[in-house]
Structure 1
Amino acid sequence: MIRRLVWPIILLALMAGAGALWISRDWWAEGPLKQEVSFTVPAGASLGSAARALEKAGIIRSTTNFLRLARRFGALDPVRAGEFDIPARASGREVLDILQHGKPLQRLVTIPEGMPSIMVQERLAAEPMLSGPVPVPVEGSVLPDSYSYERGEPRVAVLHRMQAAMTKALDAAWAARKPTTVAKTKDQAVILASIVEKETALASERRMVAAVYSNRVRQGMKLQADPTIIYPITHGKPLGRRIRESEIHAVNGYNTYAMTGLPAGPIANPSGASIEAVLNPAPSKALYFVANGKGGHVFANTLAEHNANVRRFYALRRAKGEM
């Protein structure tokens, strides 16, 4: 009699065990995904809605089984919003762990030093994985750098991070400014730094170029910075040709060949290093500089020295067949 009762119990236990193994295969065993994919969890998504999307994407076999096993064996943490890489054959346990504790993928958008705001807007607009419109930022309000973003993030949110970074860098540089700076306000520092940024690509020259323009401001001389002629014409984009004589004499708020003092606003988004340079210019009496033909510049205190440097530069260009 006892033997007759034992066998059904054993059979039921075996069937229950087989059923449990069949169900739990979706938790510990390899999943159905054949190759790595990118999977996005929208902001505010629940585990249930994420599971339905996982099944639709072929990452898990069954929404029902996944949720049942997640409640039984998984952590109670919510799923994170963002984009995640799901490896091929990921088990249900691995998938849940990625969505709950994995780091969302981040991409970078880079703003080079001296990029004008109209091109910042174009660069953000060209990022296909960002969302929404973005305005042209105020010139000089963006700190050039590389910024990470997640798929679907609003473009304007990335722009706000760029502007917050500029505010932070400017505040720090302003707090450390030296008495030798001619900038009376933070706005003036950004304006002058934008000219320095456009005039030299060499980090080692920034403070010297800043010294030249600072000395000119002190003496009431015209800055005569070529990039300030171009800005009203192209909003900072490359001109693509030589500056015309009429443009040199054009009267506007930016042309420093036709006015003394600083232009009406920045002509680009300067780097933190250029801002620091104008707030701590090199100890120099130089008033002039010209290209040296090697990617840098040669500086002069007097017009006679400068004219001699210009003649040498033209002679070098003629020797290279450039004139």
Structure 2
Amino acid sequence: MWRHIASNAVTMLIVLLFLVGGVILWGKSQYDGAGPLSEAMCVEVPSGSTMRRISETLEDSGAVTSSAIFRMGAEYADKADQLKAGSYLVPPGASMAQIVDTVTRGGASTCGTEVVYRIGVNRVSVQLRELNPQTNQFEEMANFNPAVDETPDIYTDRKASVGTRFRVALAEGVTSWQIVEGLKAMDVLEGSVEALPPEGSLAPDSYEVRPGDQRANVVERMRAAQERRVARVWENRQPGLPIETPEELLILASIIEKETAVAEERRQVASVFVNRLNRGMRLQTDPTVIYGVTEGRGVLGRGLRQSELRAATPWNTYVIEGLPPTPIANPGLASLEAAAAPLETPYIFFVADGTGGHAFAETLAEHNRNVAQWRRIEAERANQSSGN
């Protein structure tokens, strides 16, 4: 009898072990297998949140089939106490294991709100946009000029969200003064910039920032980036250029940057200035004259006067020989590369052609015809704008 009872107990224990093993295997398959989410979603992990709260949120939103299995899997992986605050993109079909890894790995948020502070040549703007997880595209929620517009409530609210990311984006051709003034308008940054950085020394680009970052440190990142760019481009420059130092490369690149916004013609514009320098001709470029008037502190906002074209400033290339003493803006990488590798052309003149680009010429007679054509285009536009 006791032998029979013992035999049945062993049998029951084996069956129980098989059942437990089956449950474990089933739970593991649920944890590692593809999840039920049919469309991407954002999951926000607030500061101080718990794995229980996040697991319940995920179950309620249909991202996981069981919050309990989600938590047990996180415990087994020793990640239950490693939640990182932020906003994260969960792709369709993500497994529980993948979601646990996402919300515990940390790093930059991959979903939610992004605030971009754009420092442009003509204005500073704040763009608030949110990632649509279904399209994986950002959608603009607000866009305003902090200097003149009322701050939208949505900006104030979203700026304080845990997953919000912040960037400052510099347009090519902005001056150092414009950059510093733009950084002053960024209410997430702190501190001051004691001295205006040398013109041309800051790299136009997009920079990730965090609330509380020091403005001076952000400027230093921009300076270091431009220093690396100039060094690399200078190292790979064409031989025989009429520029002798990296600083002269930077000056020439800044003029190219201000002369054309058409990427395809930067190297052509560079060829005109190189040809003029090689021939001992004055550069005669309006943006340098404008810089002599404004010294980079704002936009002129009107046409140049004849008196200004004749005025003897260090930057007036109608008067001085060769390059001006400093850059006239902060050039982007493409303009640096154009200055270091201009096309080989016979051109020594160019003028606007009415399309946003320029008409190039080898002779003065051809250039005068291009100028006359541009004057006709200007007159037609003036007549149209006046209603005649």
User: Alignment RMSD, CA only?
Assistant: 3.4
Gap change, CA 1:289 and 1:273, over 3 Å in 2: same
Q: 2:193 aligned with 1:134, yes or no?
A: yes
Higher strand residue share = 2
- Tell me the equivalent position of 2:179: 120
1:125, distance to aligned residue in structure 2 (A): 1.3
Identify which of 348, 358, 373 aligns with 1:297: 358
Percent identity for Structure 1 against Structure 2? 42
Asked if the contact 1:183–1:278 (Cα under 8 Å) also holds between the matched residues in 2, the reply is no
DSSP-derived class of the 1:293 partner: coil
1:117, distance to aligned residue in structure 2 (A): 0.6
Task: Give 1:235's aligned amino acid.
Answer: E
Identify which of 307, 313, 317 aligns with 2:374: 313
Gap change, CA 1:228 and 1:239, over 3 Å in 2: same
Task: Give 1:174's aligned amino acid.
Answer: W
1:96-175 alignment runs, 5 A limit: 101-105=105-109, 106-135=165-194, 136-175=196-235
- Tell me the equivalent position of 2:324: 263
Structure 2 gaps of 5+ residues are 1-42, 55-76, 89-100, 110-164
Asked if the contact 1:288–1:300 (Cα under 8 Å) also holds between the matched residues in 2, the reply is yes
Paired with 1:222 and 1:202, the residues of 2 have a C-alpha distance of 23
Task: Give 2:207's aligned amino acid.
Answer: Y
Task: Give 1:110's aligned amino acid.
Answer: A
Task: Point out which structure has higher relative CO (alpha carbons under 8 A, 6+ apart).
Answer: 1
Paired with 2:356 and 2:170, the residues of 1 have a C-alpha distance of 22
Q: 2:333 aligned with 1:272, yes or no?
A: yes
Question: How many residue pairs are counted as aligned between the two chains?
Answer: 259
Give TM-score, length-normalised by structure 2: 0.59
- Tell me the equivalent position of 1:185: 245
Structure 1 gaps of 5+ residues are 1-35, 41-50, 60-72, 87-96
- Tell me the equivalent position of 1:63: none
Q: 2:270 aligned with 1:210, yes or no?
A: yes
Any idea what the Cα deviations from partners look like across 1:76-111, whole Å, max 9, x if unmatched?
99998xx7459xxxxxxxxxx999742245311010
- Tell me the equivalent position of 1:89: none
Paired with 1:268 and 1:78, the residues of 2 have a C-alpha distance of 46
1:245, distance to aligned residue in structure 2 (A): 1.6
- Tell me the equivalent position of 2:58: none
Identify which of 344, 349, 367 aligns with 1:283: 344
Any idea what the Cα deviations from partners look like across 1:111-157, whole Å, max 9, x if unmatched?
00000110110111111111111242211011111111111111122
Identify which of 286, 294, 312 aligns with 1:226: 286
Asked if the contact 2:45–2:103 (Cα under 8 Å) also holds between the matched residues in 1, the reply is no
Asked if the contact 1:116–1:267 (Cα under 8 Å) also holds between the matched residues in 2, the reply is yes
1:207, distance to aligned residue in structure 2 (A): 0.5
Paired with 1:255 and 1:322, the residues of 2 have a C-alpha distance of 32
Gap change, CA 1:77 and 1:302, over 3 Å in 2: farther
Asked if the contact 2:173–2:257 (Cα under 8 Å) also holds between the matched residues in 1, the reply is yes
Task: Give 1:122's aligned amino acid.
Answer: E
1:319, distance to aligned residue in structure 2 (A): 3.4
- Tell me the equivalent position of 2:59: none
Paired with 1:138 and 1:38, the residues of 2 have a C-alpha distance of 42
Gap change, CA 1:316 and 1:85, over 3 Å in 2: closer
Gap change, CA 1:302 and 1:142, over 3 Å in 2: same
Asked if the contact 1:124–1:134 (Cα under 8 Å) also holds between the matched residues in 2, the reply is no
Any idea what the Cα deviations from partners look like across 1:249-288, whole Å, max 9, x if unmatched?
1112111111110001000000111011111111111110
Identify which of 179, 197, 201 aligns with 2:261: 201
Paired with 2:81 and 2:253, the residues of 1 have a C-alpha distance of 48
1:315, distance to aligned residue in structure 2 (A): 2.1
Paired with 1:183 and 1:108, the residues of 2 have a C-alpha distance of 35
Task: Give 2:344's aligned amino acid.
Answer: P
Gap change, CA 1:241 and 1:320, over 3 Å in 2: closer
1:316, distance to aligned residue in structure 2 (A): 2.5
